[in-house]
């Protein structure tokens, strides 16, 4: 059995008799898609059919950290509510537990290592980036915490709606076991694998025959990341400017009020117009808050682009390891041939020294041949294994990439629509305010 299929089967074990979670069943249900809050969430997974997941609250805590220093951090309340309860009308207390951001990171790292062939949903940003001046870059700022809460909930829903990830045991216990979860994760030994993987990925290696599809996907990931970064940067600057435009109009409110004090007939009209200018200036806060939501949607895909690139990179590594194994096998076979026929085609230190110091004895040669034969046997097994791994990886990855593509196209289109609707609302509000002001002016 190949590594990948083993992993998938393991994770799909029925570990809770209440749930019959099967990755295959989930894949069949892929057609069932519902639109929830503009995101395509595959309600088809067994997990989501049974449970409603949410990140309901955020709270500040203080405690001692690893170096025994006092620190303040935020914890988030994860709630799991059985789906049936809502429809039955009963409202039982949901299962809930508190988790902090670092635990979410741990979960994600585990998923990344365990499912290298899947595009793992991203977490909301660790630090506030692409902020415009009024938005705080402070992690403790209540607005940031609120947006993070929403982002974490989104992350959990994405995982819960993924046909494969939703069946993961560690994920499930993340949602259900407050204490001891960390230990459970470390017990899987994923850390060691993570470290070795990381090391390998950071090294530079060149694949001889790169898979064209993955190369294109990686390139797409690069471009997507670059363009969304640019989009977010310019948007933040534009938001700053727009804020300025609206707020300065508030000054009209003040001066009209002062001016109306020295006028007789014009006074009333000016005064009321001034109030509308104040309202206009104040309206920008809501407008920009809504736009922040759009920025968060874009950010999710900025980070998704990174996840996509990671899959491509891991595939490259897999292929590289296959190539290395094949190369090694070829060289061993060549050595055997040379030894058997007595010809030296390849340069080797052994060859030179034997030339210099005389040939080996037949017994030595026999021993060497035998060793080589064993190595070749093992090598062939390794190549077979790696080849199958590679094939499985490609197959699973490509299924998930296709799924991701559809999700991305749908979600981003939705995001653009809601952006357009936001702009429409802003224009309508603007027209209304200026019409109100115009009416006041006409009464001057």
Q: Contact letters (x/-) for other proteins, 268-307, by CB under 8 A?
A: -x---x----------------------------------
200 binds other proteins (CB under 8 A): no
Q: How far is CA 165 from the centre of its chain?
A: 13
Our CB check for other proteins shows the closer of 366 and 439 to be 439
266 binds other proteins (CB under 8 A): yes
Binding segment for other proteins (CB under 8 A), chosen from 66-74, 135-143, 239-247, 334-342, is: 239-247
Binding segment for other proteins (CB under 8 A), chosen from 90-98, 365-373, 392-400, 402-410, is: 402-410
- Region of 45 (left: φ > 0; alpha: ψ -120 to 50; beta: rest) is beta
416 binds other proteins (CB under 8 A): yes
345 binds other proteins (CB under 8 A): no
Binding segment for other proteins (CB under 8 A), chosen from 41-49, 77-85, 190-198, 224-232, is: 224-232
Binding segment for other proteins (CB under 8 A), chosen from 7-15, 341-349, 387-395, 432-440, is: 432-440
CB of 184 to other proteins, least distance (A): 38
- End-to-end alpha carbon distance in the chain: 86
Q: Which of 83, 137, 200, 248 binds other proteins (CB under 8 A)?
A: 248
Binding segment for other proteins (CB under 8 A), chosen from 307-315, 351-359, 385-393, 411-419, is: 411-419
Q: Which of 1, 203, 262, 349 binds other proteins (CB under 8 A)?
A: 262
Torsions phi, psi for 141 (to 5 deg)? -65, 130
241 binds other proteins (CB under 8 A): yes
Q: Which of 265, 356, 358, 361 binds other proteins (CB under 8 A)?
A: 265
CB of 295 to other proteins, least distance (A): 13
CB of 107 to other proteins, least distance (A): 30
Closest by CA position to 288, among listed 123, 133, 436, 153 = 133
Our CB check for other proteins shows the closer of 223 and 285 to be 223
3-state secondary structure the chain: CCHHHHHHHHHCCCCCCCCCCCHHHHHHHHHCCEEECCEEECCCCHHHHHEEEEEEEEEEEEEECCCCCEEEEEEEEEEEEEHHHHHHCCCCCCEEEEEEHHHHHHHHHHHHHHCCCCCCCCCCCCCCCCCCCCCCCCCCCHHHHHHHHHHHHHHHHHHHCCCCHHHCHHHHHHHHCCCCHHHHHHHCCHHHHHHHHHHHHHCCCCCCCCCHHHHHHHHHHHHHHHHHHHHHHHHHHHHHHHHHHHHHHHHHHHHHHHHHHCCCCCHHHHHHHHHHHHHHHHCHHHHHHHHHHHHHHHHHHHHHHHHHHHHHHHHHHHHHHHHHHHHHHHHHHHHHHHHHHCCCCCCCHHHHHHHHHCCCCHHHHHHHHHHHHHHHHHHHHHHHHHHHHHHHHHHHHHHHHHHHHHHHHHHHHHHHHHHHHHHHHHHHHHHHHHHHHHHHHHCC
60 binds other proteins (CB under 8 A): no
133 binds other proteins (CB under 8 A): no
Binding segment for other proteins (CB under 8 A), chosen from 3-11, 56-64, 199-207, 253-261, is: 253-261
245 binds other proteins (CB under 8 A): yes
Q: Contact letters (x/-) for other proteins, 11-50, by CB under 8 A?
A: --------------------x-x-----------------
Our CB check for other proteins shows the closer of 98 and 220 to be 220
Q: Which of 252, 303, 304, 320 binds other proteins (CB under 8 A)?
A: 252
Closest by CA position to 54, among listed 169, 152, 168 = 152
The residues of the shown chain that bind other proteins, judged by CB under 8 A, are: 31, 33, 220, 223-224, 227-228, 230-231, 234-235, 237-238, 241-242, 244-245, 248-249, 251-252, 255, 258-259, 262, 265-266, 269, 273, 406, 409-410, 412-414, 416-417, 419-421, 423-424, 427-428, 430-431, 434-435, 437-439, 441-444
């Amino acid at each position: 059995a190949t590594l990948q299929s083993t992993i998938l089967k393991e994770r799909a074990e029925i570990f809770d008799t209440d749930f019959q979670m099967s990755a295959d069943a989930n894949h069949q249900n892929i057609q069932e898609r519902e639109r929830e809050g503009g995101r395509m969430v595959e309600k088809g997974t067994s997990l989501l059919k049974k449970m409603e997941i949410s990140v309901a609250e955020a709270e500040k805590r203080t405690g001692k950290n690893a170096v025994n220093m006092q620190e303040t951090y935020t914890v988030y309340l994860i709630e799991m509510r059985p789906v049936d309860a809502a429809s039955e009308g009963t409202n039982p207390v949901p299962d809930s537990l508190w988790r902090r951001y670092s635990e979410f990171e741990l979960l994600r790292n585990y998923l990344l290592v365990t499912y290298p062939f899947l595009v793992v949903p991203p977490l909301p940003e660790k630090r506030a980036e692409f902020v415009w001046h009024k938005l705080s870059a402070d992690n403790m700022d209540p607005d940031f915490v609120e947006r993070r809460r929403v982002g974490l909930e989104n992350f959990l829903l994405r995982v819960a709606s993924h046909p494969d990830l939703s069946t993961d045991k560690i994920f499930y216990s993340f949602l259900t076991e407050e204490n001891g979860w960390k230990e459970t994760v470390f017990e899987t030994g994923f850390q060691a694998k993570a470290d070795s993987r990381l090391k390998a990925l950071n090294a530079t290696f060149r694949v001889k025959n790169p898979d064209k599809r993955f190369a294109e996907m990686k390139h797409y990931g690069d471009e997507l990341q670059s363009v969304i970064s640019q989009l977010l940067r310019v948007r933040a600057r534009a938001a700053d400017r727009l804020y300025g435009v609206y707020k300065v109009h508030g000054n009209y409110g003040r001066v009209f009020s002062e001016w109306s004090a020295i006028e007789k007939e014009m006074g009333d009209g000016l005064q009321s117009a001034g109030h509308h200018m104040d309202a206009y200036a104040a309206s920008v806060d809501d407008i920009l808050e809504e736009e922040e939501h759009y920025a968060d949607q874009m950010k999710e895909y900025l980070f998704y682009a990174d996840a996509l690139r990671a899959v491509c990179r891991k595939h490259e590594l897999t292929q590289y390891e296959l190539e290395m194994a094949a190369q090694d096998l070829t060289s061993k076979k060549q050595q055997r041939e040379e030894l058997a026929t007595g010809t030296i085609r390849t340069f080797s230190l052994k060859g030179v020294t034997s030339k210099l110091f005389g040939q080996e004895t037949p017994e030595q040669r026999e021993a060497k041949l035998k060793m080589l034969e064993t190595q070749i046997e093992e090598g062939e097994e390794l190549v077979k294994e790696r080849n199958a791994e590679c094939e499985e990886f490609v197959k699973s990855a490509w299924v998930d990439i296709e799924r991701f593509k559809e999700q991305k196209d749908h979600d981003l289109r939705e995001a653009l629509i809601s952006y357009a609707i936001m702009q429409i609302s802003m224009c309508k509000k603007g027209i209304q305010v200026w019409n109100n002001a115009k009416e006041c002016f006409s009464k001057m």
